[in-house]
Amino acid sequence: MTILQTGNFWERVEMFFVRHRLSVIALLVLLLLGLPLVTTPSYVKRIYVLIMIYGTLALGLNLPTGYTGQVSLGNAAFFAIGAYTSALLVTKAGFGFFTALPFAALLAGVAGLTVGLPSLRLSGSYLSIVTLGFAEIVRMILANWQTVTNGPMGVKNIPRPFFFGIELSLRNNGAYYLILAILLFTALLCYVVVRSKIGRAFVAIKEDELAATMMGIKTVYYKVLAFVLSAAISGVAGAFYAHFMRYIDPNSFTFDTSILILSIVILGGMGTLRGMYLGAALLVSFPEVLRFLDRYRFVFYGLVLVLMMRFRPQGILGWQSKIPYRFPSGADPEIIDANLESVPFSGEKTPLIEVKNVVKRFGGLAAVSDVSFYVDRGEIVSIIGPNGAGKTTIFNILTGVYEIDGGEILFKNRSIHGTKPQDIVKMGVSRTFQNIRLFPNMRVIENVLVGTHINTRYGFFDAVFRTEGFRREERAKTERAVKILKSIGLGYRMHDYAKNLPYGEQRRLEIARAIATDAKLILLDEPAAGMNPQESNNLLEFVRLLRDRGYTILLIEHDMNVVMNISDRIYVLDYGKLIAQGLPSEIATNSKVIEAYLGGVSEHAKHKRT
Amino acid sequence: MLNIRGLNTRYGQIHALKGIDMRIEKGEIVTLIGSNGAGKSTLLNTISGIVPASGGEILFQGENITNMAPHFIVKRGISMSPEGREVFPALTVAQNLRLGAYSKKAKDLDGSYERVYTLFPRLKERLPQAAGTLSGGEQQMLAIGRALMADPVLLLLDEPSLGLAPNLVLLIFDLIQSINDQGVTILLIEQNANAALSVAHRAYVLETGNITLDGPAEELSQNDAVRRAYLGGK
Amino acid sequence: MFFQYVFNGIAVGMAYALVAVGYSLVFGILRLINFSHGAVYAFGAHVVLLFIGLRYPIWIGILVSIFLTGILGVLIDKFALAPLRKKKSLPIASLITTIGVSYIIQNLLMIFFGSERKSFPNFFDMGGLNLANVPVTSSQLFLFVISLLLLLVLTLIVKKTRIGLAMQAVEQNTKAAHLMGINVNFVITFTFFLGGASAAIAGALMAGYYQLVYPTMGFLVGLKAFAAAILGGIGILYGSVVGGLVVGLSESLASGYIGGTYRDAAAFVILIIILIIKPTGLFGKKGISKV
């Protein structure tokens, strides 16, 4: 690839790593396996183990915070729940470590679900505070529930894990290999989750939650999923921690712990896996290496947060990869043509969507009053009218962003009143936005793949175990995404990040993403805005092609050239009311329309000036 | 009075203004027409200092005001009535007007209030009312009145007829004329190109960040390309 | 006993309200939860402690602290937050930054003052009062009255002064505020100063009331005050007062009837319940998000 000649040093290093990833990983694992054998001082081995514990915790926190954009300030709570569950089951109920471990994960996961389910509906910062409050409550319970947790005294003499009769200690390197196994398992789990529709949904939510909703992503489900996974992973790390330290008390799991985990995620690079290992290695070994700075250790963590946000918010290893997107095996973008397949369509003119007497009020003002219209299958219908006439409000009503205050909307003869936005997408309505709302830090192809999310049929376990169904679906959806991109003329942009596209191409990418939802009805909100005549002509051609392929289009547009040329029928909206409807030729000569929209005051004003 | 040379503005990767040259003489109404997304509002926002310019310069009465903080630009005599009116919804009409003259002392404002009340008698009736409860037309009057409170030399109007019923549009354009008659220079953005061209002395046509045409308003309203693209003509 | 709990709750609740207003002011203008506010409060109390240690009269210590803590608020904005606004960073970046700042302040206090609890004079204790057999202490009354006065002053500043009008304008529409000729950065600076200054007073009052000062004293109080601000509807001043009273009363009653060790949990339980049932708080309004 050209990157090997043109990229900078780090890009070339990354390219090398990706190309030879299996060998590199094998080598790294071998190194990690051999490391304790060549290390003699036990305090150094101890640091290795702590690094891996915090690496695991960071991988866990990274799912909600790095990928999904939900900052948790309370992951110490799940760490504590895992530690206490395992420690108590083993010391009080006679469990072995490996039988207690699943319970630690389970209980921490359930705790994550309990706090996550209600609070993940909140906006970002509120969630952070709730997690922090939750962690404090957990700590207070641990300190006060004497009969079970032994209160502030903590749990002492926790036995080391036994594996087929062998006590896993630091001395025999058993503890080292156990936490290494836990870390590798966690890393693998995170990797498979992230490289699936689940991971794409996570990032889409972080990038633009509303746009993600409009692509049919059940945002609350995915936020809770990220949160529960994070809690369960922290619980496993906690269980190991309890049996490694052999003593825990409520003060082992304070706000400081939560902040240390967060600092690791941020220093390493939110939303990367590689960053977690480096972050943990740096921040955990730091106080050991620079002992003279001991008193300033926490000040340093604070500085890490502040300075990273200011100068490198993406973290040390958080650069945006310039190497090409990796397609799933079996999917070859080269051989896919640009020929968009047709939507099944009988050619019969029946209404796909009918809007009857719809009313929408904001405060006292009616933004849309008593508006009725319909769009037949295979039609291109435009809504025009001055800015502020209520056109975008109608789109927001049709896609379920706003609830209506009166009237009825029928899609395929079924009422969609009160239907959630995600379910409306599922029924086959998709849209673009007047102010472009792409997922800017995702690649072009990934943006379109997020569009296919709604009809990608595999679950969490398919993704984790890479089942045949998972691989087939990933391949099929990727091929479809490539096809859509090629058909709209963005095939050559697949690997780029959406934010790096010029304006006109961003608009086209939004259309591609809308098509990818398998929508029958596509709502385009000013698709030609900001395009030059050449670009808007190409767009015109493409919208016609979509119609010919059986799609139905509802269009808001100001560019009269586009509207008059492309529309089968036009509705004119003014002041929230329909003032005219008809064929383009009728609209162009309608006196009401000319007065309201095309400029009726001209005669009057001219008169005044002369 | 206002002289813009080679002005460039970028939003991240989007190059919204690509070398704009424009000049406005004292006492003129100049209008800027172009489709949505062409960069009209960006130009006004760059002049008033809300959006930084990435190249070129803006000279106002001989002084370079490029990338000056917005409050200094207001002090020099440029006020703007923004697109979508942007009144302060929870504040009263009186407070909104007071804010329009924020950089002035309260005791020096009698004349400014008088002028606004004369132009917009409706506002005087609504002084204690929260601006958010006004009708669209009244909010537009408030936005313009508020901009006039600073006693500007140059008034920037961004889509003053937006979302207004036809009879109100008429009224607003009459008022623009009256304000200009009082000696205020006006730069007007309008999607209602017919109306804009009928009150303006000169006009510029903006397309995807470039000025493609300019000339006397009368002349442009006869131009075939302009008629086709913006005036709904054939 | 009940009345004792109630009066204690009301007095402490007003002090929470004073801290809560700091969250509310900054949130109103920047839509940011200023996590460092609790640490700023602790800083304010420690400055007073320093001056007491230097044998200055306490009122000098408080005055200096109001000034220095206000300046600290401004510095936090200038050095940590303003650059992020300029870069148009994501909201999460500002939140994390304020967490980092709170950490730095709290731990520097530990380094310079030691992490242990230090005694602080109750400078407003004039003995017990007995008004119609209601057992109010003079400290409670003083805490209540001073907090109330300060809250009134803050409200007057926001509602009746020119800079207060500008604060409201920035809060409602920053872009339009620019166009009015308001120096938005100065308004933000001023807001941070007010937040810091009110936290300093609250810090001194609470230190006196409990006769204790320690570097992490702002952590719990900060969270409780934040809970109070949310409860009343963040960004709404009188909401903070009501929120502060609810938090103060509930924790006072909880510690009286359930047990002192659960006192601190009360605020969090309330916070979580409120956020789940009505995230905009008691008096908050729901905004319409523009698509």
Which of C43, C17, C31, C40 lies closest to C226 in space, CA to CA? C17
Residue A605's pLDDT band (boundaries 50, 70, 90)? very low
Q: In sequence order, what are the beta bridge partners of B188?
A: B31, B157
Given a cut of 90, whether residue B171 has pLDDT beyond it is no
User: Do the Cβ atoms of C99 and A433 come within 8 Å?
Assistant: no
Angle at the Cα of A510 (from A504 to A513), degrees rounded to 5? 145
The pLDDT assigned to C130 comes to 66
Smallest Cα distance from C93 to chain A, Å: 6
**CA-based diameter of chain A, in Å?**
104
C7 phi and psi, to 5 degrees? -70, -40
- Say which residue, C233 or A482, is predicted with more confidence: A482
The pLDDT assigned to B119 comes to 92
Domain that holds residue B140: 2-230
* Among the partner residues C162, C179, C183, nearest to B48 by beta-carbon distance: C179
Cα–Cα dist C12/C266, whole Å: 14
Interface test with A, best of C24, C96, C247 (most A CBs within 10 A): C96
Tens of pLDDT, residues A296-342: 878 888 898 899 889 988 888 888 888 888 898 888 888 888 888 88
Is residue A456 a contact partner of residue A197, using CB atoms and an 8 Å limit? yes
The pLDDT assigned to B163 comes to 66
The pLDDT assigned to A334 comes to 85
CATH number corresponding to A433-518: 3.40.50.300
The pLDDT assigned to A604 comes to 41
The pLDDT assigned to A603 comes to 43
Cα–Cα dist B71/C185, whole Å: 10
Tens of pLDDT, residues C181-211: 999 999 999 999 999 999 999 999 999 999 9
The amino acid at residue C72 is L
Which of C80, C88, C83, C47 lies closest to C64 in space, CA to CA? C47
* C166 contacts on B by Cβ (under 8 Å): 99, 102
Domain that holds residue C43: 21-218
Angle at the Cα of B193 (from B191 to B195), degrees rounded to 5? 110
Which of C157, A600, A60 lies closest to B169 in space, CA to CA? A600
Residue A588's pLDDT band (boundaries 50, 70, 90)? confident
A503 phi and psi, to 5 degrees? -50, -50
Phi/psi class of residue C114: alpha, beta or left (left: φ > 0; alpha: ψ in -120 to 50)? left
- Residue C88 CB-density burial (10 A; 0-12 exposed, 13-18 middle, 19+ buried): exposed
Structure tokens at C79: 């050095």
Cα→Cα distances B51→A338, A398, C135, Å: 40, 34, 61
Given a cut of 50, whether residue A602 has pLDDT beyond it is no
Outline where DSSP puts E strands in A319-385: 351-362, 365-376, 380-384
The pLDDT assigned to A2 comes to 45
- Say which residue, A64 or A531, is predicted with more confidence: A64
Instruction: Report how many domains make up chain C.
Output: 1
Residues 6+ apart with CB under 8 A from C220: A136, C38, C264
User: Considering only A32-36, A606-610, C3-7, which range has the smallest mean pLDDT?
Assistant: A606-610
The pLDDT assigned to A214 comes to 94
User: Considering only A6-20, A157-171, A426-440, C212-226, which range has the smallest mean pLDDT?
Assistant: A6-20
Instruction: Report how many domains make up chain B.
Output: 1
Residue A5's pLDDT band (boundaries 50, 70, 90)? low
Is residue A382 a contact partner of residue A566, using CB atoms and an 8 Å limit? yes
Is residue A405 a contact partner of residue A412, using CB atoms and an 8 Å limit? no
Where chain C has pLDDT below 70, the residues are 127-134, 260, 285-291
Domain with CATH 3.40.50.300 in chain A: 349-428+519-610, 433-518
In eight-state DSSP terms, residue C260 is: G
When the pLDDT of each residue in chain C is averaged and rounded to a whole number, the result is 88
- In our burial notation (b when 16+ CB lie closer than 10 A, e otherwise), range B54-90 reads eebebebeeeebbebbbbebbeebbbbbbbbbbbbbb
* A387 contacts on B by Cβ (under 8 Å): 36, 159, 162-163, 191
Q: In this structure, what CATH number is given to the domain that contains residue B147?
A: 3.40.50.300
**Is the entire prediction scored with pTM above 0.80?**
yes
Structure tokens at A285: 């070994």
Could you please state the CATH topology (level 3) that the domain comprising A349-428+519-610 is classified under: Rossmann fold (3.40.50)
Residue A598's pLDDT band (boundaries 50, 70, 90)? low
The pLDDT assigned to C128 comes to 66
Q: To which residue do tokens 């300019």 refer? A: B214
* Among the partner residues B15, B135, B198, nearest to A602 by beta-carbon distance: B198
User: Considering only A57-66, A224-233, A593-602, which range has the smallest mean pLDDT?
Assistant: A593-602
* B10 contacts on A by Cβ (under 8 Å): none
Give the 3-state secondary structure of A360-374.
EEECCEEEEEEEEEE
Structure tokens at C237: 């001043």
| DSSP-derived 3-state class of residue B206 | strand
Residues 6+ apart with CB under 8 A from A314: A269, A270, A320
**What percentage of chain B reaches a pLDDT higher than 90?**
65
Residue A290's pLDDT band (boundaries 50, 70, 90)? low
Residue A129's pLDDT band (boundaries 50, 70, 90)? confident
Tens of pLDDT, residues B41-74: 899 999 999 999 999 999 999 999 999 999 999 9
The pLDDT assigned to A411 comes to 94
Is residue A576 a contact partner of residue B164, using CB atoms and an 8 Å limit? no
When the pLDDT of each residue in chain A is averaged and rounded to a whole number, the result is 88
Angle at the Cα of C50 (from C48 to C53), degrees rounded to 5? 110
| DSSP-derived 3-state class of residue B184 | coil
User: Is some CB atom of chain B closer than 8 A to the CB atom of C172?
Assistant: yes
Structure tokens at C289: 């998000």
Alpha helices in A332-406 (DSSP H): 391-398
Structure tokens at A78: 């799940």
Smallest Cα distance from B21 to chain C, Å: 23
**CA-based diameter of chain B, in Å?**
55
Q: What mean pLDDT do residues B119-135 have? A: 90
Given a cut of 50, whether residue B159 has pLDDT beyond it is yes
**CA-based diameter of chain C, in Å?**
60
Cα→Cα distances C291→A392, A398, A465, Å: 8, 13, 38
Q: What mean pLDDT do residues A453-471 have? A: 93
- Say which residue, A599 or A69, is predicted with more confidence: A69
Domain contains C130? yes
